[in-house]
Chains A and B, each alone.
Chain A
Amino acid sequence: MNSHDSTGPASTGGAAPVGADAFLKGAAPPAPSTSPAAPVVMDKPDPVPMEKLAAVTTAASGDALLRVTDLQVHFPVTQGALVARKIGAVRAVDGLNFAIRRGETLGLVGESGSGKSTTGRAIARLLEPTGGKVEFDGRDITHLSARTMRPLRRDIQMIFQDPYTSLNPRHTVGSIVSAPLKIVGDLSGDALKARVRDLLELVGLSPEHLNRYPHEFSGGQRQRIGIARALATHPKLVIADEPVSALDVSVRAQVVNLLGDLQSELGLTYMFIAHDLSVVRHISDRVAVMYLGTIVEMADRAGMYEHPLHPYTHALLSAVPVPDPAKQHRRERILLRGDPPTPLNPPAACRFNPRCWKAEEVCRTVEPPLVEIQPGHQVACHFPEERELV
């Protein structure tokens, strides 16, 4: 198995080392400071006093397939070529609490660098968490070794963004799709072949494609191959990291439909990572919004899109243009100034405070905990406020 395969979870067989590319990312010069927290388009509303800082609850989740408690993933930042000295840490994921019920789709959104992919990789145990706990199907998998994790690999699979780089160009479709089955090792010979044919059919590819190579397929077809590979072992949880972002409109719609069909057919549970808030609205039962390694708001679909509470969610939703010129020109827009800051050096207390138009002294001194302030609707803000933005 060559290095190319290491993007596929089934073939890494264990916690991936901290990647070089990520070190590069971590070492990149920090975004220059920009004009501070200028209140932009909006009037400042009266602060809503928060009396309920008490109960930090995870969503009431009767039958959780996945439960994540205080998950942290920090990457060391080092300096020095020969003797690497640790000079700090990128707090890519910094204390997440959530659960996903069986058969449910949880959408994970946020700007780039907010920690979405890292969260997905930590749950799939392609990374070892720095802290906290990941429980899958009632079992603590946080620190399982590569070998003890192996039997669980069949249950947790990932689909990746880039259908061009996540498939080994020198392997046939048949060998790509059968690789996870071979690792799990309970099918061989004709039974294995038959299973692969079934899988190709399941994702809308012709079984004749078995002996062809990835470059002979379009982007949408390649993504179908990636999906077939992920489904090969009958996983319970599928973590899809930007699975349709690289696809064109009509192909994207086809793949979105396919993911939905497969979920109802196979009873899958999805964690759907995307920066596209409209795809997430379509596909998710519940949505979590991440900002600099933390969840700032989590709610069911209607709650998130129709009654969002966190200022950052407001800014995100208002920034997405809707395909209706008349409505779009009437919509209220919140323009955030500057770039997302880096998780190398996150702001104290509320991490959003330098960009927040509602920030007050307390936001710079006390970190707002994620609390449930309506049934099933959690938010981490000292001044949550319902707004209609879409």
Chain B
Amino acid sequence: MTARPEPSAAAGTAAALVDRHYLDVRDLRVTFGTDDGDVRAVNGLSFGLERGRTLGIVGESGSGKSAASLALMGLQRGRRTTVAGEIWLDGENLVTASPERVRSLRGRQMAMIFQDPLSAMHPYFKIGDQIIEAYRVHHDVSKKVAKKRAIELLDRVGIPSAARRVDSYPHEFSGGMRQRAMIAMALSCDPSLLIADEPTTALDVTVQAQILDLLNDLQKEFNSAIIIITHDLGVVAEIADEVLVMYAGNAVEHGPVQEIFSAPQHPYTWGLLSSITRLDRTRSDRLRAVPGNPPSLIAVPDGCPFHPRCQYANLAGPATRTERPTLETVAPGHRVACHLPVEARVRIFREEVAPSL
């Protein structure tokens, strides 16, 4: 992994984090060189996460959610890809660790679940054999022992008659069962960090409910740190302990789930909450959509990256267009990156945003 120090790195964000967390991400930058210029997919992301906690990451397409999580797993290593910053997992910096070291941690300490289980499983090998293989990479056991473990895991994630289904091929499973099988594979080595990238987006709500339930149970059982990336604020409300809102490669707000929903302080978070349809109420005729589209990550707007779409930009003074706001702590565990004074944010949310949510 190449760690190119960035002269422009906002050192402030990293320095602000003094506590040690089980997972500590500091000023993470992921840049893809392309013919059109550098794509700054992740642009100075910092956060910490403890074991036993679930972090929900939300944000529009292209905000850098997947790019960040692949970097955490050490899976971001194209020739023109640069990963910079620090990723501390249990006291070890993965950005400077050797690729072999990161590979051995992957599957032992950390694992990932993808939106499309088929892409993570080989179509021509039996499900069980794939789990056995993954397990034996890190455990010096016989095939027989590993198979027993595979059956246990499939059973644990709710595959009926696991002893028989262990010999099935991926295409013989439904979407929900494939997702379970992938979770079983991810769990084969009791990872202490589990990243799930849109794990239920392709599933029916009935199956989604089963999978979220399973993740909840497994977390209690294994005490892992879980990062779940999703577009669905309902899923976040259901499963997350804390929420990180990403915009243009960075966190704009991060806080306890209850607070993000009841007292959000960033105008983009307000925009997300206002623009969704809700199962639990009939909203007014028109949704309050955030206008426009997310910015290009090749030419991120100066100042606050959200300013071209922010209806409060004019209230925040000239800095809004020239200086990138840094994450400031506004309450325990709650950080916001916005130039508006805190009192203004609290008032705007209470008077203008909350009534129409």
Residues of A near any B CB (own CB < 8 A)? 28-29, 31-35, 111-112, 218-220, 248-254, 256-257, 260-261, 275-279, 281-283, 301-302, 305, 315-329, 333, 335-340, 390
Query: Does B258 lie within 8 Å of A326, measured CB to CB?
Result: yes
B283 at the interface (CB under 8 A from A): yes
- Which B residues, 255 to 303, have Cβ-Cβ distances below 8 Å to chain A? 257-258, 261-262, 271-273, 275-280, 282-283, 285-293
Given A321-B235, A325-B237, A325-B257: A277 and B293 interface contact (C-beta under 8 Å):
no
On chain A, the residues within 8 Å of B238 by CB distance are 321, 325, 328-329
Let me know if B89 is at the binding interface, CB within 8 A.
no
Taken together as a complex, chains A and B put the C-alpha atoms of A31 and B161 apart, in Å, by: 13
Kindly state the separation between the CA atoms of A203 and B280 in the bound complex, as whole angstroms: 29
26 contacts between A and B (CB under 8 A): A33-B160, A219-B61, A248-B60, A249-B60, A253-B276, A254-B291, A256-B277, A256-B289, A261-B286, A277-B279, A278-B279, A279-B277, A282-B283, A305-B282, A319-B206, A320-B205, A321-B209, A321-B237, A325-B237, A325-B258, A328-B238, A335-B213, A336-B206, A336-B210, A340-B204, A340-B206
Separation of A356 and B262 alpha carbons in the complex (Å): 36
* B residues less than 8 Å from A329 (CB atoms): 238
> Could you tell me if B160 and A390 are in contact, using CB atoms closer than 8 angstroms?
no
- Chain B, residue nearest A33 (CB): B160
Residues of B within 8 A of A248 (CB): 60-61, 231
Contacts of B218 in A (CB 8 A): none
Q: Could you say which of B168, B206, B235, B282 has the most chain A C-beta atoms within 10 Å of its C-beta?
A: B206
| Cβ of B212 under 8 Å from chain A | yes
Interface check B172, CB cutoff 8 A: yes
* B142 interfacial by beta-carbon distance below 8 Å: no
Residues of B within 8 A of A220 (CB): 293
- A111 partner residues in chain B, CB cutoff 8 A: 204-206
B287/A257 in contact, CB under 8 A: yes
Cα(A256)–Cα(B204), bound, Å: 21
CB pair A281 B174 closer than 8 Å:
no
Give the residues in chain B near A327, CB-CB below 8 Å: 280
| Nearest CB of chain A from residue B60's CB, rounded to whole Å | 5
Q: How far is the CA of A323 from the CA of B320 in the complex (A)?
A: 29
Known: A248-B61, A257-B286. 5 other contacts (CB 8 A): A35-B160, A256-B289, A261-B286, A276-B277, A333-B209
Contact call B209/A281, Cβ cutoff below 8 A: no
B206 touches A253 (CB 8 A): no
Nearest B residue to A252 via CB reads B275
Query: Which B residue sits closest to A254, measured CB to CB?
Result: B289
A74 to B164, alpha carbons, bound, how many Å? 33
CB distance from A270 to the nearest CB of B (A): 14
Interface size class of chain B, counting residues whose CB lies under 8 Å from the partner chain: 35 or more
Q: Which residue of B213, B278, B285 is within 8 Å of A322 (Cβ)?
A: B278
Tell me, yes or no, whether B126 is within 8 Å of chain A by CB: no
Nearest CB of B to A261, in Å: 8
Q: Does B74 contact A (CB under 8 A)?
A: no
**Distance to closest chain A CB from B279 (angstroms):** 4
B289 close to A324 (CB less than 8 A): no
> Nearest CB to that of A36 among chain B residues?
B160
Q: Main secondary structure on chain A at its contact with chain B?
A: helix
Q: Does the CB pair A275–B282 fall under 8 Å?
A: no
Mark contacts of B66-93 with chain A using CB atoms, 8 A cut-off: 1 yes-contact digit, 0 otherwise.
0000000000000000000000000000
Query: What are the 9 A-B residue pairs with the smallest beta carbon separation, nearest first?
Result: A253-B289, A321-B234, A253-B275, A321-B238, A250-B290, A323-B233, A282-B277, A319-B209, A253-B287
Q: Is B53 an interface residue (CB 8 A)?
A: no
Give residues in B with beta carbon < 8 Å to A.
60-61, 160-161, 165, 168, 171-174, 176-177, 204-210, 212-213, 231-238, 257-258, 261-262, 271-273, 275-280, 282-283, 285-293
When A339-B174, A339-B176 are in contact, do A322 and B277 touch as well, CB less than 8 Å?
no
Residues from chain B with Cβ under 8 Å of A218 in the complex: 293
Residues of chain B with a CB closer than 8 A to A318's CB: 209
Chain A residues with CB under 8 Å of B171's CB are: 28-29
B284 to chain A, nearest CB (A): 10
Instruction: For B286, list chain A residues within 8 Å (CB).
Output: 257, 260-261
A250/B209 contact (C-beta < 8 A), A32-B160, A323-B237 known: no
The answer on a CB contact under 8 Å between B261 and A325 is: yes
- Beta-carbon contact of B279 and A305 below 8 Å: yes
Contact status of A281 and B258, CB under 8 A, knowing A28-B171, A218-B293: no
Task: Give chain B residues whose Cβ lies under 8 Å from the Cβ of A320.
Answer: 205, 234, 279
Q: Do the beta carbons of B60 and A339 come within 8 Å of each other?
A: no
Beta-carbon nearest neighbor of A257 in chain B: B286
Question: B205, A328: Cβ atoms under 8 Å?
Answer: no
A256, closest chain B residue (CB): B287
Shortest CB distance A245–B (Å): 10
The verdict on A253 contacting B290 (CB below 8 Å), with A111-B206, A321-B234, A328-B238 known, is yes
* Whole-angstrom CA separation of A248 from B292 in the bound complex: 12
CB-CB nearest in chain B for A250: B290
Determine the residue in chain A with the shortest Cβ distance to B232.
A321
Give, as a whole number of angstroms, the nearest-CB distance from A2 to chain B. 28
A203 vs chain B, min Cβ distance (A):
14
Q: Give A276 to B235 CA distance when docked, in angstroms.
A: 13
A339 touches B209 (CB 8 A): no
Cβ contact within 8 Å between B279 and A281: yes
Q: In the bound complex, how far is the Cα of B277 from the Cα of A335, in angstroms?
A: 23
- The chain A residue with its CB closest to the CB of B161 is A32
A31 to B160, CA, bound (A): 11
Q: How far is the CA of A320 from the CA of B235 in the complex (A)?
A: 8
- B205 near A277: Cβ-Cβ < 8 Å: yes
